[in-house]
Every structure is written in C-alpha cells, then in structure tokens.
Chains A and B, each alone.
Chain A
Amino acid sequence: MPTLLERQRDMRDWVLAAAGTPPLPNAGLHRDNTLGGLAAVLAAGFPVSHRLVGEACFIGLAQAYIRHEPPYEAPLLRYGTGFPAWLTGQEVARQLPYLADVARLEAAWTHAYHAAEAAPLDASTLATLATLGDAVEDAVWRLHPSHRFVTSPWPVDRIWRANQPDAADAAVDLDTDGDTHLLVVRPAAEVLLIRLGPGAFALLMALGAGLPLGSAWDNALALDAGFNLEHELTGLLAAQVFTGVELP
C-alpha cells in the first residue's frame, strides 16, 4: 500500500493535471471542487477581467493559471497576485491589450482592501509644515501602507468603473483617455482609485521610495514644469494618502 505521503502527492499531481487516471474512485469530485473553488476565488478577485472576457473564457484562463501557479498558502486573500503577469502571455491579452493592466489594477485593489490599517495625517499638517521654511524640503513622507501604483497606456480606471455592477452603460474612449497613472489606497473603509497627473505621480513614487520632499518635487517638475506642489499636497492630504511626515 502507498504511504500517506505517496497518497497525497498522487492526489495533488492528479488534481492539478489536465488528464490522467484517478487514484481512487470519486477522486474527480475532489478535483472539480478544488479547481472550481480556486476559479471562483479568482473570479471574485478579478470581477472586471471576468466580465471583459466572459464566464467560459475566464474559467478556462483560471484553470490554466491554477495549474501553472497553484496557491502555496491556505489564506486565499492574496491568491492571484501573479495572474496579471501570466495573462500578458495569453492569446486573449493580444485581443484585449488592456486586459492584463485591468487585472493589475484589480490585484492592487485587493491588496489595498486587506492591507494593514493606519491613521492618516490630517489636512492641518500642511499649515504646520509651512512654518518651517526651506527645511520642509528635507521632510520624509510615509504613504499609507495600503497604497499601490498602477500605470497603463490604457484608461484602466475608466474601464474598471464602467464595469462595476452598479455602473450605467458608458463608452470608454481607448485612444484619448489613456496614459493612466493611478494611486490605489484604502485610508478608511473604502478603496480609492485616484487618477494622478504625471507630476503628482512622480512626486508620490519618489516619496514612496523614501526620498525627501525636495527631491520628489524636482522629479515632479522634471515631468511637469507647471507642477504646483502646495495644490497637489493639499489634495493628497484631503484624500488621506499619507500616514506620517518626519523631519531629519
């Protein structure tokens, strides 16, 4: 008789294989349950991608992805982190060139949804910093731990919004609304998708990497000569995307 370890490896191999002989009668019920359950997890995590390709196509993609990269841990809250990158190599991503970027946005949304809580800085911070004069350029800002950046040549935020369950039918112009820079963040209960200009995006990327405000501001100005730091910081503080600011 096989050992317990051999039994479990045989079962794992068979559940994840596309064909083969079941190790015991009714093993197919477990294969269907495993693949069906994981496909449902992916469909729940990537609802817009699912809607864009349709049920049958999505299930086929999900099952192929599950075989390519089965989960390695029991909590499935983060399962599918590699799904967007894997999608880029699939035929459907050539037909729908924005699909993988929409999936990246959905993975960022899921990350933000389950990320750690942190108390945001309030808007009065700016007035306090204004009293510091030039020293404010040395300030290091902490972004909310839930944040992720998503960029795309396609208007993935507009595609995402147009495909929410409660959204009215809306046309998205793929040619003119592109070059998208997004901040995905959850300062409170709701995940926010914030569309940024190239200057604000450069500023936040630099602040997120730990650069001081002065360097981040230079980065923003390099991409957008008209960049207005005070205006942008006021908006970002109101959106509660920062959790701390420190002076060296």
Chain B
Amino acid sequence: MGITGIGLKARHTAELLARRPSLRFLEVHAENYMGAGGPAHRWLAALRETYPVSIHGVGLSLGGAEPLDTDHLADLAALVDRYQPELVSEHLAWCRIDSTYLNDLLPIPYTDASLSLVADHIDQTQTALRRRILVENPSSYMAFPESDWDEAAFLAELARRTGCGILLDVNNIHVSAHNVGLDAGAYLAALPTGAVGEIHVAGHEPVEHEGRAVLLDTHGAPVAAAVWDLYRQALNRFGPVPTLVERDANIPPLAELLAEAAIADGIAAGLSDAVLDKEAAHAHAA
C-alpha cells in the first residue's frame, strides 16, 4: 500500500469497482454529494467498502466576510456522518457573499482581521463536524496591498490557534510562487511539521493574461517536474503523508492516473531512513 489516492470521477467508477486497484484513498468534492440520493451516492457507498474516503469541500467559504452558511455546514456534517471519511478538508478562500455563490476559490488579504475571522470559521466547522479539518493553501493570482502576513505564517498561525491541520497543495505553492512571488522553499520551512495531514499534487498550465505570463491552476494536465521536486522536498520535511494526485479537467483513462499516483508512491518509497524514522516517531508519539 502506497500513500497516494486519486479523485473519484464518474467515468472511472465502473473500472474502479471491477478492478479495485490498490490506492491509499479516494477523494470526493463534498458538494457533489449533497443531493439526497442518486447514482453518485450508490457508487461512493460501494467503493467505500474498499477504500478510505477523503471529503474535500470547495463551498464553505471559510474566508468569507459573512457568517458561514449553517445549512451548508449541516449538509457537510451529514455527509461526514454518512461516509465516515478518514480526511476532511476545506480551503483558505472565500466563494460566497450576500447569498451569492461564486464558483471559484477567491483569495483573501492576510491581515489580523482576516486571521480572527477565518480562525472563528474553522472553530465553528470543527465543532459542527466534531473533528479536525485540514485547510488547503490557495493558488494565488492577485496580491493585496493590505496583506501584512505571509501566507505560510498565516496558515501556521491558523493551525496553532484552531488545531486544524494543513492540506498542503504543492502545485498551488509553485503556481503562487510564480504569480505573486512566494519563496517555495521558505514556505515549506515556515509550516510546522506535525500540521500537514495531506498533500495535493496537480498539473497547471501557462497562459498569457494582460500581457503577463501566468501559471493557471487547472488540474487539467500531468504534474510538472518542478512540482514533483517540491513534493519530494515536502515529503522530506513532513514525512509520507497521504497524497492526492488531483485531476479535475482533461481527465485521462484510469490507468494514466494510476501511473501518476505510482510516481508519488515511488518518491515516497525513496525517502531517506531518517525521514521514515521521524514519521515512526510521530506515530509513536500519537
């Protein structure tokens, strides 16, 4: 058993059910399972018998300036009760204001006021779900002049205040480093080692926007070599944590996705003994 999982996609369901390939977990977007019934629930219930599940929310708006949508939070809690996932995660982002939902993960400025607000929203979520959640670092295209925290320190402080874990998306770090000038190595170093509970790797695509080259976090391409390098650095620092090969567009045949998952497992298998000893020490301490 490796450490890598994939996202559950409708087009792969029949093959997954028939072959049941070795995977650490399957990840689903919470909002896609907020219907009362239907084939998606039938498939997930069947696959849940073989695979641990990770529920990844995209719509809670932890960074929203308005109160959390308590109906949405109750739906998320019901989903967590129903599938008993191993991992539950959300985003450091906002997507909802004045009861309008924007289908995107929008960035927030990193200020003391934002920190208090997001920490309150994480507390509220962890209380409603009766469990720890992981919070994912965003892919950034815009920088706010009022930000006075750097992103990694902001995430580390959220983890310290709320006890939440971090879902570290190394592709997002790579994309943000290019787009808004983060230092990827310093980013990893600023995060506490025990807080990272999951890693995402994904593909991105270069585009031209307003005359500038931008890296777009599309989840629509294979993982880039530079992102695999950053992944290796992350595993060296944080140990072999569950990893998702994330693909949401241009979805390839299952075999191709499994081959990418095997790359991540291969990197994890090549970790030095010192890293694995550290992981064993964590596990022992826990």
Contacts and interface: CB of A to CB of B under 8 A. Distances in A.
Interface of A: 1-5, 7-9, 11-12, 15-16, 24-30, 33-34, 37-38, 41, 70-77, 113-117, 145-146, 186, 189
Interface of B: 31-32, 34-42, 58-61, 64-66, 69, 71-72, 75, 94-104, 106, 108-109, 111, 113-114, 117, 141-146, 179, 209-210, 214, 216
A74 B142 contact: no
14 contacts: A1-B145, A3-B113, A4-B65, A7-B108, A11-B102, A30-B106, A74-B95, A76-B31, A77-B31, A77-B32, A114-B38, A114-B40, A116-B37, A146-B37
A116 B38 CA distance: 7
A222 to B, nearest CB: 35
B96 A74 contact: yes
Contacts of B60: 74
A117 B19 CA distance: 27
A117 B145 CA distance: 51
Contact of B42 (A11, A16, A41, A189): A189
Contacts of B94: 8
Nearest to A26: B141
A74 B72 contact: yes
A4 B103 contact: no
Nearest to A10: B97
Contacts of A3: 65, 113
Given A75-B75, A113-B38, A115-B36, A70 B101 contact: yes
A4 B117 contact: yes
A8 B64 contact: yes
The residue in B31, B37, B99, B117 that gathers the most chain A C-beta atoms within 10 A of its C-beta is B37
Nearest to A15: B102
B108 A4 contact: yes
A74 B31 contact: yes
Nearest to B108: A4
Contacts of A4: 65, 108-109, 111, 113-114, 117
A38 B103 CA distance: 7
B100 A12 contact: yes
A28 B210 contact: yes
A115 B179 contact: no
Contact of B142 (A25, A116, A145, A189): A25
B166 to A, nearest CB: 22
A72 to B, nearest CB: 5
The residue in B65, B113, B145 that gathers the most chain A C-beta atoms within 10 A of its C-beta is B65
Given A116-B36, A189-B42, A29 B58 contact: no
